[in-house]
Amino acid sequence: MTTPFTNSTLARPGSSATRRNLQQGITNRLLDLLLIVLVFLMIAPLIFMVVSSFKTGREFVNPTGFFPEQWQFGNYREMWRRANFGLYFRNSLIVCSVTTVVATFFAALTGYALTRFRFPGSDLYGLSVLGTQLIPGTLFFIPLYLTFVWIRTTFGLPLIGTNLGGIVLYIGFFIPVSLWILRGFFAAIPVDLEEQAMVDGATRFQAFWHVVMPLAAPGIVSTAIYIFLTAWDELFFASILRVKTLPFGLLLFSGVQSSQTRYDLIMAGAVVSTIPVILLFLLLQRRLVEGLTAGAVK
Amino acid sequence: MATTPTRTLTHRPGIIRRARRNRIAYAFIAPAVLMMLLVHVIPSVQGIYMSLLDLRQATLRQYLGAPSVGLEHYQDIITGFFSGRGGANIRGLSQATRNALWFTIWLNVGTIGLGLVLALLLNRKFRGRGLARTLILLPWVVPSFVAGLIWRFVWLQRGGLANQILVDWLGIVDQPIRWLLLENTRWALLIPAIWRSVPFTALLLLAGLQVIPQDLYEAARVDGANAWHRFRYITLPLLKPSLAITLMFGIVFNLFGFGPFNIATSMFGSTNHGKYAELVVPAIARQTFSNQLYGYGAAASVLVMTLAMVFVILWYRVFRDTLRAE
């Protein structure tokens, strides 16, 4: 009910009940105030981003106040046109959605198998999946690039500079962590139900798909959001494989080399890049928070 | 978990049979294994081999057939780090390593400190608690490349939000600070990184706080323990598993991952983050690219990976009992 901080005075014997209540009330209000200040500090940069995106470029360096003198709604239209934003935005949506669906599915299959079977190599596999997270991207980006080039020339699959390349790459990238998030969820689902289903004639895959997956829905949702948010933010490998997603596009647009001084347009681009993930988060945050913290607390 | 020799012996004849019996399990993990082989394993093995080669722009066409240099890259990097000598690359890498250590220490101090305060504040009963939690999580949802762009303008010398607050509103500082210059860039990178890591840390710690049984506090209060004692002897010990996991994330993702890279790259508008703000992985990426030293870059990456493994093993040894006690 109350944390150690809230009523520090309670323990002191001898003070009257009313004084105690008063002190406790004051302490609580002070803590509320501290929380409000901290929350404000956390979201102030975001408010700053949104407000600034309506300023003129000149107002950035010669500020007249926190708010723009005149709200420049045209910034967004101009940014969209000049940064070729539609292309990057569409690519990001395609790459991240497809990656999310496929990677979640693959991770679910694998997480399920690891909790239901003890097969030769299962422990080794579980550990090596974690091990991949310790490999710095700088170790393998050149071989990865050359492998993708080789696949392109040998099998004719266009993996460089295309959305397909980004999708293949990210599916591989995000399976390991997703697998570990999902594994905990599958482990918590009793095996009786699927065994019953299989006694009734379902195959193993049908039992997994129709019985276990619905039960693991909270985990599936939080894994999917995790993948989407992370893929949306990937910059380094996107620039290596020249996948034209938002982080890459916005870096080109805002980079020093492009001598881009239209700060207002850059901010408008930042706002639009954030909208999809914020929406996704607000819609599904309850599930996400439950899912991500379930593993940590058990 | 170590199997005794006798057990292994009795199991060995059955391995093939067991594998065959688990055919369905292999079918389930096959897609993930294939993707992992394609994206992680095969390229990393090549990368490790590359670290033994004299692979530069001139020899890239030969790729894995480039002349071997043995452990020379490793030797150069390690001796360079401890002696302070060596070429510009080696010195840059040593500097980046020191930057990264400084950065990681302060990042974790800041993140865990602030995260703990927020978690304790949120773990009370009050109206608007759900709203407060949502708002606090927002910086974590914002992509890190967007975070970098926001802070580029927060740090602007003229008209940036930071200088506006410090100079115009509060009047703490007389002259506008040039945040994106020399030593100041350390702070210009650290603060956004903390800002973006605090929400998730607070969330994990809050989850840890919520499972501490309340009657422990009641009992302690009856026994006359004050707020500090209750925090010190109940909250902190019971929060240790959550703190251990937070520390692990905080170090592995920031020291060896690309989170700070994204922030810095969009904040500075280039992959060159300067002498004071460049961390290890971004430094390796930049040197590999701009100087086309592919073998050297791979060797540096292997060293970073080794450090990461050593760290994880140390972490596990320190917190093993904590994590098991759950």
The pLDDT assigned to B12 comes to 55
pLDDT at B114 over 90: yes
* Cβ(A7)–Cβ(A27) below 8 Å: yes
- Average pLDDT (B236-246) is 87
Structure confidence by residue, pLDDT tens digits, A62-73: 777 778 888 888
Q: pLDDT for A78-131, tens place per residue?
A: 888 888 889 999 999 999 999 999 999 999 999 999 888 888 888 888 888 888
CB A148 within 8 A of CB A79: no
- What's the mean per-residue pLDDT of chain A? 85
Cα–Cα distance for residue pair A193/A215, rounded to 1 Å: 10
Cβ burial A238-261 (10 Å sphere, 16+ → b, else e): bbbbebbbbbbbbbbbbbeeeebe
CB contacts of B288 in chain A (<8 Å) are: 138, 142
Question: What is the percentage of chain A residues whose pLDDT exceeds 90?
Answer: 33
Contact flag A143-B44 (C-beta cutoff 8 Å)? yes
pLDDT grade for B308, boundaries at 50, 70 and 90: confident
End-to-end Cα spacing for chain A: 21
Whether the per-residue pLDDT at A58 is higher than 50: the answer is yes
Concatenated DSSP letters of B146-172: HHHHHHHHHS-TTT-HHHIIIIIIS--
Window B:235-254, CB contacts with A under 8 Å? 235, 242, 245, 252
Give the model confidence (pLDDT) of A158-186 as tens digits: 888 899 999 999 999 999 989 888 888 88
Interface contact B40-A135, CB threshold 8 A: yes
Residue A3 is predicted with a pLDDT of 47
Partner residue facing B151 (CB), from A43, A45, A229: A45
Residue A147 CA, distance from chain mean position: 27
In three-state secondary structure terms, B259 is helix
Q: Which band of pLDDT confidence, cut at 50, 70 and 90, is reported for residue B120?
A: very high
Residue B56 pLDDT: 82
User: Any idea what DSSP says for residue A66?
Assistant: S
Does residue B111 carry a pLDDT above 60? yes
**In Å, how far are A105, B15, B136 from A126, measured between CA atoms?**
17, 18, 34
Tokens of residue A62, six digits = 């010669």
Nearest beta carbon to residue B301 from set A136, A236, A266? A136
- Judged by CB atoms closer than 8 Å, whether chains meet at B35 and A175 is answered as yes
Nearest C-alpha of chain A: how many angstroms from B234? Answer: 9
* Complex ipTM more than 0.90, yes or no: no
Nearest to B125 among A1, A42, A208 (CB): A1
**What integer pLDDT is reported at residue B258 of this predicted model?**
83
Which has the closest alpha carbon to A133: B91, B122, B147, B249?
A: B249
Condensed to tens digits (0 to 9), the pLDDT of residues B1-45 reads 444 444 444 455 577 777 777 888 889 999 999 999 999 999 999
pLDDT value, residue A298: 40
Phi, psi of A190 (to 5 degrees): -65, 145
Q: Does domain A83-297 have CATH number 2.60.40.1080?
A: no
pLDDT at res. A257: 58
Determine the pLDDT at residue B244: 87
Average pLDDT over chain B, rounded to whole? 85
pLDDT digits (tens, 9 = 90+) for B158-210: 778 888 888 888 888 888 888 888 888 899 999 999 999 999 899 889 988 88
Indicate the pLDDT class of residue A295, thresholds 50, 70 and 90: low
Beta-carbon separation of B126 and A32 below 8 A: yes
Q: Which residues of A181-210 are buried (b: 16+ CB within 10 A; e: fewer)?
A: bbbbbbeebeeeebeebeeeebebeebbee
In this complex, the residue of A3, A256, A267 whose CB is nearest that of residue B270 is A256
Which chain A residues are Cβ-neighbours of B209 within 8 angstroms? 3
> Is B270 touching A (CB cutoff 8 A)?
yes
State the DSSP H helix or E strand holding residue A290, giving kind and residue range, or none if neither. Answer: helix A263-297
3-state secondary structure of B56: strand
User: Which phi-psi region, left, alpha or beta, contains residue B2 (left: φ > 0; alpha: ψ -120 to 50)?
Assistant: beta
Domain ranges of chain A: 17-74, 83-297
Number of other CB atoms surrounding residue B79 within 10 Å: 13
B11 → chain A, closest CA residue: A120
How far apart are the C-alpha atoms of B258 and A254, rounded to whole Å? 19
Cβ-contact B54, A151 below 8 angstroms: no
Task: Tell me whether B315 touches chain A (CB under 8 Å).
Answer: no
Q: Which residue of B has its CA nearest to A264?
A: B153
d(CA A281, CA B138): 9
Give the type of residue at B215. D
| Of the candidates A175, A58, A23, the residue with the CA atom closest to the CA atom of residue B34 | A175
The verdict on a CB contact (< 8 Å) between B47 and A117 is no
Measured CA distances, A293 to A182, B42, B201, B204 (Å)? 12, 33, 11, 6
CB-nearest to B19 from A119, A128, A147 is: A119
Class of the domain covering B97-325: mainly alpha
Cβ distance of A139 and B298 shorter than 8 Å: yes
For residue A25, pLDDT beyond 70: yes
Domain boundaries, chain B: 5-41, 97-325
pLDDT of the residue at B20 = 77
Mean pLDDT over residues B233-253, rounded? Answer: 86
Among residues A222, A144, A145, which one has the least CA distance to residue A185? A222
Smallest Cβ–Cβ distance between B28 and the set A112, A120, A171 belongs to A112
A267 three-class SS: helix
Q: What is the pLDDT of residue A98?
A: 96
Under 8 Å between Cβ of B196 and A233: no
Q: Which residues of B touch A267 (CB under 8 A)?
A: 149-150, 153
Which ranges constitute the DSSP H helices of B51-183?
72-83, 88-122, 129-141, 144-154, 161-163
Cβ–Cβ < 8 Å for B190, B124: no
B 153-192 near A (Cβ less than 8 A): 153-154, 156, 158-159, 161, 164
Contacts A32 to B, Cβ<8 Å: 126
pLDDT at A11 (0 to 100):
47
CA distance B199 to B203: 6
